[in-house]
A and B are shown apart, each in its own frame.
Chain A
Amino acid sequence: MTETTTERPATPLVVLSGVNKSFGAHHVLQDIDLTVHQGEVVVLIGPSGSGKSTLCRTVNRLETIDSGSITVAGSPLPAEGRELARLRAEVGMVFQSFNLFAHKTVLENVVLGQVKVRRTARAEAETKARSLLERVGMAAHADKYPAQLSGGQQQRVAIARALAMDPKVLLFDEPTSALDPEMITEVLDVMRALAAEGMTMVVVTHEMGFARSAANRVLFLADGRIVEENTPEEFFTNPRSERAKDFLSKILHH
């Protein structure tokens, strides 16, 4: 454990400190401190409603926070506007429900951000899009519309779309929860490959296999707090907190 952490160049990429967030009277995130280093893969795990999605979404400010601070690559998240848009381009997001642009082909989905946000020339953007689609095994489907694809295929395109922006960090919010078992593997394989190439990733998932094989750290969230922080191996075989033990016994037994 200590070996892997010392090998890693410890450049903090995403830093949350003292983050609090409430929806009305519901205190969803409570004093969250979290540092994600460059090249690190952090898995967020926890019971439903514990605040995993909310935490993930605060990092690109899809959710605003009430107090505390968040910095990405050293700069604090700007307020809504062009500055924030620029920062969001550096932070990729992959959603549980894919959210591919329904009126655009697969290729267009991967091209759009490059051309409109990065101002890349169209031909260049298409070349890049095709090579990214190749990488996620979707090159043959470039001209299809999202509705014509399976969930697993859509999610792989969504990953290609996020990668097209050359993000510094990728956020995944339960990327495989909406998928049938046979499609989960194809998405996780892509994510494993990304992790192996050194992509910085924050992943909300209950896929233990993925956490074990790709994550550097597992954070266990309950009731809006980080209750436990551990290596995947330690967390799954020998959890320290009662909450984590209780939670793991539930997900292991079904």
Chain B
Amino acid sequence: MGIPFEGNNLSLFWHGFVQTVLLSGASALLALVLGTLLAACRVSPVPVLRAFGTGWVGVFRNTPLTLLFFAVTFGLPRVDVHLSAFVCAMLALGCYTGSFVCEVLRAGINTVPIGQAEAARSLGMTFGQTLTLVVLPQAGRAVLGPLSSVFIALPRNSAIAGAFNVAELYSVQQTLSEQGYAIFAIFFWIALAYLCISATVGLLFRGLERRLAVGA
């Protein structure tokens, strides 16, 4: 069972772990920015933006993630866009997760009383200011729970990147089983590593919830 502590397995493990954390972190950031922009589009008074938001979410939320990885990894080079495997994985994961973030935020926006936006507009705030200063901060708070589920799922979803040439945590499994280690033992350690990442994300959100609850 002590696989990680044999030979240079530890550094292999560590490298995979770091790659998974980096990939998840970068994708989470992209998803958050993209999801917020998409949510803004979906509630905006401009019909073209609303249609764009709806279309984006429709496509990316309903396409299997593996298919998105395929599209980015093999589709982009065809139109002469050459990106590293890591960036491809980040794009696929970020765009996919962003559509979920958008829908969660939109549900949150609907919980904010209409009077909040009316008060902001009455003060002379523009649509963008009303959204970013008044509506979204309250919407975000209201949906921290569902949002944490989306971001806890992200590191697990990132395992697909292992099949697309990113040397992340899950791909360590392949290397080790080629070396002849018992498959169950390998999976035990890898699962434990994913658990650590997810638990950390969960804790971060719980901390955030506690800190923001003061202002409610």
Give A residues with C-beta under 8 Å from B.
60, 62, 80, 82, 85-93, 95, 97, 99-105, 112-113, 116-117, 145, 147, 158, 161-162, 165
Contact = CB atoms under 8 A, between A and B. Distances in A.
Interface string B136-180: 011001000000000000000000000000000000000000000
Contact residues on B (Cβ < 8 Å of other chain), bracket: 20 to 34
B193 interface: no
Contact of B116 (A91, A93, A101, A116): A101
Nearest to A102: B138
A116 B129 contact: yes
22 contacts: A60-B122, A62-B118, A62-B122, A85-B124, A85-B126, A86-B124, A88-B124, A93-B122, A95-B115, A97-B113, A99-B115, A99-B116, A99-B118, A99-B119, A101-B119, A103-B138, A103-B141, A105-B215, A112-B133, A116-B133, A117-B129, A162-B123
Contact of A93 (B113, B119, B129, B215): B119
A85 B129 CA distance: 11
Q: Most chain-A CB neighbours within 10 Å: which of B123, B126, B134? A: B123
B120 interface: yes
Given A95-B115, A116-B125, 12 more contacts: A60-B122, A87-B124, A91-B122, A95-B119, A99-B116, A101-B116, A103-B215, A112-B123, A113-B125, A117-B123, A117-B129, A158-B119
Contacts, number: 71
A86 B121 CA distance: 10
Interface of B: 45, 113, 115-116, 118-126, 129, 133-134, 137-138, 141, 215-216
Nearest to B137: A103
A161 B216 contact: no
B115 to A, nearest CB: 4
A55 B126 CA distance: 22
Contacts of A62: 118, 121-122
Contacts of A80: 45
A144 to B, nearest CB: 11
Nearest to A97: B115
Given A112-B133, A145-B215, A85 B122 contact: no
Contacts of B118: 62, 93, 95, 99
Contacts of A147: 216
A68 to B, nearest CB: 21
A92 B124 CA distance: 9
Contacts of B120: 101
A103 B141 CA distance: 9
A88 B119 CA distance: 10
Given A103-B216, A116-B129, A165 B123 contact: yes
Contacts of B216: 102-103, 145, 147
The 4 A-B pairs with the shortest beta carbon distances in the complex, nearest first, are A89-B124, A113-B123, A99-B115, A99-B119
Contacts of B123: 88-89, 112-113, 117, 161-162, 165
A162 B123 CA distance: 7
Contacts of A103: 137-138, 141, 215-216
Nearest to A96: B115
Contacts of B116: 99, 101-102
B122 A92 contact: yes
A110 to B, nearest CB: 10
B82 to A, nearest CB: 41
Nearest to B121: A88
Contacts of B119: 93, 95, 99-101, 158, 161
Contacts of A104: 215
A20 B126 CA distance: 26
A165 to B, nearest CB: 6
Contact of A117 (B125, B134, B215): B125
